Protein backbone atom coordinates (compact mmCIF):
# COMPACT_ATOMS: atom_id res chain seq x y z
CA UNK A 1 0.00 0.00 0.00
CA UNK A 2 1.21 3.53 -0.68
CA UNK A 3 0.74 6.67 1.49
CA UNK A 4 -2.84 7.06 0.26
CA UNK A 5 -3.73 3.42 0.90
CA UNK A 6 -3.79 2.34 -2.75
CA UNK A 7 -2.26 -1.00 -3.71
CA UNK A 8 0.37 -0.66 -6.48
CA UNK A 9 -2.06 -2.27 -8.98
CA UNK A 10 -4.94 0.05 -8.08
CA UNK A 11 -2.73 3.13 -8.24
CA UNK A 12 -1.36 2.25 -11.63
CA UNK A 13 -4.89 1.46 -12.92
CA UNK A 14 -6.06 4.82 -11.56
CA UNK A 15 -3.24 6.79 -13.21
CA UNK A 16 -3.92 4.96 -16.49
CA UNK A 17 -7.63 5.85 -16.30
CA UNK A 18 -6.83 9.53 -15.66
CA UNK A 19 -4.61 9.50 -18.73
CA UNK A 20 -7.14 7.64 -20.85
CA UNK A 21 -10.00 10.05 -20.14
CA UNK A 22 -8.18 13.39 -19.86
CA UNK A 23 -4.68 12.89 -21.28
CA UNK A 24 -3.31 14.25 -18.00
CA UNK A 25 -0.01 12.70 -16.97
CA UNK A 26 -0.15 12.15 -13.20
CA UNK A 27 2.51 10.35 -11.24
CA UNK A 28 2.40 8.26 -8.06
CA UNK A 29 3.18 11.46 -6.13
CA UNK A 30 -0.43 12.58 -6.67
CA UNK A 31 -1.88 9.54 -4.91
CA UNK A 32 -2.83 11.35 -1.68
CA UNK A 33 -4.55 14.12 -3.65
CA UNK A 34 -6.40 11.60 -5.82
CA UNK A 35 -7.50 9.59 -2.81
CA UNK A 36 -8.89 12.73 -1.13
CA UNK A 37 -10.85 13.62 -4.26
CA UNK A 38 -12.23 10.14 -4.99
CA UNK A 39 -13.14 9.19 -1.41
CA UNK A 40 -16.48 11.10 -1.19
CA UNK A 41 -17.63 9.63 -4.52
CA UNK A 42 -16.68 6.08 -3.53
CA UNK A 43 -18.53 6.53 -0.22
CA UNK A 44 -21.59 8.09 -1.89
CA UNK A 45 -21.79 5.12 -4.26
CA UNK A 46 -21.38 2.75 -1.26
CA UNK A 47 -18.55 0.89 -2.98
CA UNK A 48 -16.21 -1.14 -0.81
CA UNK A 49 -12.92 -0.30 -2.55
CA UNK A 50 -11.23 2.11 -4.93
CA UNK A 51 -10.68 -0.76 -7.32
CA UNK A 52 -14.47 -1.30 -7.42
CA UNK A 53 -14.83 2.36 -8.38
CA UNK A 54 -12.23 2.08 -11.14
CA UNK A 55 -14.03 -0.99 -12.49
CA UNK A 56 -17.22 1.06 -12.53
CA UNK A 57 -15.56 3.92 -14.46
CA UNK A 58 -14.32 1.36 -16.99
CA UNK A 59 -17.74 -0.25 -17.45
CA UNK A 60 -20.23 2.57 -16.96
CA UNK A 61 -19.86 5.45 -19.43
CA UNK A 62 -22.19 7.57 -17.33
CA UNK A 63 -19.60 7.63 -14.53
CA UNK A 64 -16.82 9.01 -16.73
CA UNK A 65 -17.87 12.71 -16.52
CA UNK A 66 -17.94 12.45 -12.69
CA UNK A 67 -14.50 10.87 -12.72
CA UNK A 68 -13.18 13.69 -14.94
CA UNK A 69 -14.70 16.31 -12.61
CA UNK A 70 -12.89 14.68 -9.68
CA UNK A 71 -9.43 14.35 -11.19
CA UNK A 72 -9.09 17.76 -12.85
CA UNK A 73 -7.59 20.77 -11.06
CA UNK A 74 -9.61 23.94 -11.59
CA UNK A 75 -7.71 26.70 -9.73
CA UNK A 76 -8.24 30.09 -11.33
CA UNK A 77 -9.01 33.73 -10.50
CA UNK A 78 -10.11 36.98 -12.06
CA UNK A 79 -7.30 38.80 -13.90
CA UNK A 80 -4.76 36.07 -13.15
CA UNK A 81 -1.27 37.28 -14.22
CA UNK A 82 -1.78 41.03 -14.54
CA UNK A 83 0.78 41.65 -17.32
CA UNK A 84 -1.25 39.50 -19.71
CA UNK A 85 -4.33 41.66 -19.16
CA UNK A 86 -2.29 44.87 -19.48
CA UNK A 87 -1.03 43.62 -22.84
CA UNK A 88 -4.55 42.79 -24.05
CA UNK A 89 -6.02 46.07 -22.86
CA UNK A 90 -3.24 48.43 -23.93
CA UNK A 91 -1.81 46.75 -27.02
CA UNK A 92 -3.77 43.84 -28.44
CA UNK A 93 -7.29 45.32 -28.47
CA UNK A 94 -6.40 48.75 -29.95
CA UNK A 95 -4.20 47.17 -32.64
CA UNK A 96 -6.68 44.44 -33.52
CA UNK A 97 -9.53 46.97 -33.79
CA UNK A 98 -7.46 49.18 -36.07
CA UNK A 99 -6.44 46.25 -38.30
CA UNK A 100 -9.91 44.64 -38.56
CA UNK A 101 -12.52 47.33 -39.17
CA UNK A 102 -16.06 45.96 -39.05
CA UNK A 103 -14.97 42.52 -37.82
CA UNK A 104 -15.89 40.80 -34.58
CA UNK A 105 -13.06 39.66 -32.32
CA UNK A 106 -13.22 35.88 -31.74
CA UNK A 107 -11.79 34.66 -28.45
CA UNK A 108 -11.37 31.12 -27.17
CA UNK A 109 -10.88 30.45 -23.49
CA UNK A 110 -9.70 26.84 -23.76
CA UNK A 111 -9.60 25.17 -20.31
CA UNK A 112 -11.85 27.91 -18.98
CA UNK A 113 -12.47 26.26 -15.61
CA UNK A 114 -15.09 28.15 -13.54
CA UNK A 115 -15.09 31.15 -15.90
CA UNK A 116 -12.97 33.81 -14.21
CA UNK A 117 -10.72 34.10 -17.27
CA UNK A 118 -13.55 34.46 -19.77
CA UNK A 119 -15.44 37.02 -17.69
CA UNK A 120 -12.21 38.99 -17.14
CA UNK A 121 -11.91 39.13 -20.93
CA UNK A 122 -15.59 40.07 -21.31
CA UNK A 123 -15.06 42.99 -18.91
CA UNK A 124 -12.08 44.27 -20.93
CA UNK A 125 -14.12 43.96 -24.14
CA UNK A 126 -17.13 45.76 -22.64
CA UNK A 127 -14.86 48.60 -21.46
CA UNK A 128 -13.13 48.79 -24.84
CA UNK A 129 -16.49 48.87 -26.62
CA UNK A 130 -17.50 51.96 -24.67
CA UNK A 131 -14.61 53.96 -26.05
CA UNK A 132 -14.59 52.25 -29.47
CA UNK A 133 -18.12 52.08 -30.89
CA UNK A 134 -18.34 49.43 -33.58
CA UNK A 135 -16.14 46.98 -31.70
CA UNK A 136 -17.73 43.54 -31.31
CA UNK A 137 -16.59 40.31 -29.68
CA UNK A 138 -17.54 36.68 -29.15
CA UNK A 139 -16.09 34.44 -26.46
CA UNK A 140 -16.12 30.66 -26.84
CA UNK A 141 -15.19 28.93 -23.59
CA UNK A 142 -14.50 25.23 -23.18
CA UNK A 143 -13.37 22.78 -20.54
CA UNK A 144 -13.31 19.00 -20.22
CA UNK A 145 -15.18 19.10 -16.90
CA UNK A 146 -18.96 19.50 -17.16
CA UNK A 147 -19.27 20.35 -13.49
CA UNK A 148 -16.84 23.26 -13.68
CA UNK A 149 -18.54 24.52 -16.86
CA UNK A 150 -21.86 24.57 -14.98
CA UNK A 151 -20.18 26.85 -12.43
CA UNK A 152 -18.86 29.07 -15.25
CA UNK A 153 -22.37 29.27 -16.69
CA UNK A 154 -23.77 30.24 -13.30
CA UNK A 155 -21.08 32.93 -12.94
CA UNK A 156 -21.20 33.12 -9.16
CA UNK A 157 -17.98 33.85 -7.24
CA UNK A 158 -16.63 34.44 -3.76
CA UNK A 159 -13.37 34.44 -1.79
CA UNK A 160 -9.93 34.22 -3.30
CA UNK A 161 -10.99 34.31 -6.94
CA UNK A 162 -12.33 37.86 -6.48
CA UNK A 163 -9.52 39.28 -4.32
CA UNK A 164 -7.44 40.78 -7.11
CA UNK A 165 -10.29 42.47 -8.96
CA UNK A 166 -11.68 43.79 -5.67
CA UNK A 167 -8.39 45.54 -4.94
CA UNK A 168 -7.45 46.69 -8.47
CA UNK A 169 -10.90 47.45 -9.94
CA UNK A 170 -13.52 48.01 -7.25
CA UNK A 171 -15.44 50.10 -9.83
CA UNK A 172 -15.71 47.06 -12.15
CA UNK A 173 -16.93 44.91 -9.27
CA UNK A 174 -19.77 47.42 -8.76
CA UNK A 175 -20.50 47.60 -12.46
CA UNK A 176 -20.24 43.95 -13.49
CA UNK A 177 -21.37 41.97 -10.41
CA UNK A 178 -24.50 41.76 -8.28
CA UNK A 179 -24.79 40.25 -4.78
CA UNK A 180 -26.03 36.66 -4.91
CA UNK A 181 -26.74 33.80 -2.52
CA UNK A 182 -23.11 32.65 -2.39
CA UNK A 183 -21.14 35.81 -3.13
CA UNK A 184 -21.28 37.88 -6.30
CA UNK A 185 -22.73 36.94 -9.68
CA UNK A 186 -21.65 38.45 -13.00
CA UNK A 187 -24.32 40.55 -14.70
CA UNK A 188 -26.09 39.21 -17.80
CA UNK A 189 -24.34 41.82 -19.98
CA UNK A 190 -21.08 39.87 -19.47
CA UNK A 191 -22.74 36.63 -20.60
CA UNK A 192 -24.42 37.89 -23.74
CA UNK A 193 -21.46 37.24 -26.06
CA UNK A 194 -20.33 34.03 -24.37
CA UNK A 195 -20.83 30.42 -25.50
CA UNK A 196 -19.75 27.54 -23.26
CA UNK A 197 -19.12 23.97 -24.39
CA UNK A 198 -17.54 20.80 -23.12
CA UNK A 199 -14.41 19.97 -25.08
CA UNK A 200 -11.33 17.80 -24.68
CA UNK A 201 -8.26 19.71 -25.90
CA UNK A 202 -6.80 16.51 -27.34
CA UNK A 203 -9.59 16.41 -29.91
CA UNK A 204 -10.26 18.85 -32.78
CA UNK A 205 -12.78 21.66 -32.67
CA UNK A 206 -15.09 22.21 -35.64
CA UNK A 207 -12.77 23.37 -38.46
CA UNK A 208 -15.01 26.37 -39.11
CA UNK A 209 -14.00 27.86 -35.76
CA UNK A 210 -11.17 30.38 -36.16
CA UNK A 211 -10.04 32.53 -33.25
CA UNK A 212 -8.04 35.74 -33.01
CA UNK A 213 -7.08 35.29 -29.36
CA UNK A 214 -6.69 31.97 -27.57
CA UNK A 215 -6.17 31.51 -23.85
CA UNK A 216 -4.48 28.18 -23.22
CA UNK A 217 -3.30 29.00 -19.75
CA UNK A 218 -2.29 26.73 -16.91
CA UNK A 219 -3.35 23.52 -18.57
CA UNK A 220 -0.32 22.35 -20.62
CA UNK A 221 1.53 21.82 -17.33
CA UNK A 222 -0.67 18.81 -16.63
CA UNK A 223 0.42 16.95 -19.77
CA UNK A 224 3.56 15.15 -20.91
CA UNK A 225 5.46 16.61 -23.90
CA UNK A 226 3.74 14.30 -26.39
CA UNK A 227 0.25 15.32 -25.29
CA UNK A 228 1.29 18.98 -25.04
CA UNK A 229 2.31 18.84 -28.68
CA UNK A 230 -0.97 17.21 -29.63
CA UNK A 231 -2.90 19.99 -27.87
CA UNK A 232 -0.81 22.65 -29.62
CA UNK A 233 -1.36 20.95 -32.99
CA UNK A 234 -5.12 20.83 -32.45
CA UNK A 235 -5.28 24.43 -31.23
CA UNK A 236 -3.32 25.66 -34.22
CA UNK A 237 -6.09 24.44 -36.54
CA UNK A 238 -8.47 26.86 -34.82
CA UNK A 239 -6.24 29.92 -34.94
CA UNK A 240 -6.65 32.70 -37.51
CA UNK A 241 -3.52 34.07 -39.25
CA UNK A 242 -1.66 36.50 -36.95
CA UNK A 243 -3.76 35.48 -33.98
CA UNK A 244 -2.28 35.30 -30.47
CA UNK A 245 -2.07 32.44 -28.01
CA UNK A 246 -1.55 33.08 -24.33
CA UNK A 247 0.03 30.52 -22.04
CA UNK A 248 0.42 30.42 -18.24
CA UNK A 249 3.35 31.86 -16.31
CA UNK A 250 5.13 28.54 -15.89
CA UNK A 251 4.51 27.35 -19.44
CA UNK A 252 6.76 27.88 -22.42
CA UNK A 253 6.77 26.38 -25.89
CA UNK A 254 9.64 28.49 -27.25
CA UNK A 255 11.75 26.60 -29.73
CA UNK A 256 9.29 23.72 -29.78
CA UNK A 257 6.58 24.53 -32.30
CA UNK A 258 7.66 26.81 -35.09
CA UNK A 259 4.11 27.85 -36.00
CA UNK A 260 3.94 29.80 -32.75
CA UNK A 261 6.38 32.73 -32.59
CA UNK A 262 7.23 34.05 -29.15
CA UNK A 263 6.18 37.70 -29.03
CA UNK A 264 6.92 38.21 -25.34
CA UNK A 265 6.79 35.99 -22.26
CA UNK A 266 3.56 33.94 -22.32
CA UNK A 267 2.35 35.47 -25.61
CA UNK A 268 2.75 33.69 -28.94
CA UNK A 269 1.85 34.89 -32.41
CA UNK A 270 0.69 32.68 -35.25
CA UNK A 271 2.38 33.19 -38.60
**What gap in Å lies between CA 164 and CA 170, rounded to an integer?**
9
- Selected from 67, 79, 122, 143, the binder of ligand SAM by CB under 6 A is 143
Q: Least CB distance from residue 235 to ligand SAM, whole Å?
A: 11
- Selected from 117, 141, 165, 172, the binder of ligand SAM by CB under 6 A is 117
Q: Does 72 bind ligand SAM (CB under 6 A)?
A: yes
Task: Give the x-and-dash track for 87-116 against ligand SAM (CB under 6 A).
Answer: ------------------------x-x---
Q: Does 213 bind ligand SAM (CB under 6 A)?
A: no
Task: Give the x-and-dash track for 155-184 against ligand SAM (CB under 6 A).
Answer: ------------------------------
Q: Which is nearer to ligand SAM, 55 or 75 (CB)?
A: 75
Give the bridge partners for 142, in sequence order.
110, 197
- Selected from 4, 13, 23, 211, the binder of ligand SAM by CB under 6 A is 23
Q: Least CB distance from residue 208 to ligand SAM, whole Å?
A: 20
**What gap in Å lies between CA 71 and CA 4, rounded to an integer?**
15
Q: Which is nearer to ligand SAM, 108 or 135 (CB)?
A: 108
| Nearest-10 crossing angle of helices 8-22, 31-44 | 90
Determine contact, residues 143/198, Cβ cutoff 8 Å: yes
Buried/exposed 190-226: b ≥16 CB within 10 Å, e otherwise: bbebbebeebebeeebeeeeebbbbbbbbbbebbeee
Q: Does 200 bind ligand SAM (CB under 6 A)?
A: yes
Q: Does 84 bind ligand SAM (CB under 6 A)?
A: no
Q: Least CB distance from residue 179 to ligand SAM, whole Å?
A: 24
Q: Which is nearer to ligand SAM, 168 or 200 (CB)?
A: 200
Q: Which is nearer to ligand SAM, 135 or 157 (CB)?
A: 157
Q: Does 252 bind ligand SAM (CB under 6 A)?
A: no
Q: Which is nearer to ligand SAM, 135 or 248 (CB)?
A: 248
Q: Which is nearer to ligand SAM, 72 or 193 (CB)?
A: 72
Q: Least CB distance from residue 26 to ligand SAM, whole Å?
A: 11
- The rounded Cα 93 to chain-centroid distance in angstroms is 21
Binding site for ligand SAM (CB under 6 A): 22-24, 72-76, 80, 111, 113, 117, 143-145, 148, 200-202, 215, 217-219, 222, 248
Amino acid sequence: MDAAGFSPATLSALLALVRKHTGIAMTERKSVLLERRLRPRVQALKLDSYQAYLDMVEKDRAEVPHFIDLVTTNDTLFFRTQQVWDYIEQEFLPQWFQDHPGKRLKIWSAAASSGEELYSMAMLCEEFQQTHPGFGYQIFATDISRQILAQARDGQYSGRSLERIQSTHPDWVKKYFRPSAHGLRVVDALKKNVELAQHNLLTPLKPSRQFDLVFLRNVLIYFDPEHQQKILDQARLSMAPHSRMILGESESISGRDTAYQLERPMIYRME
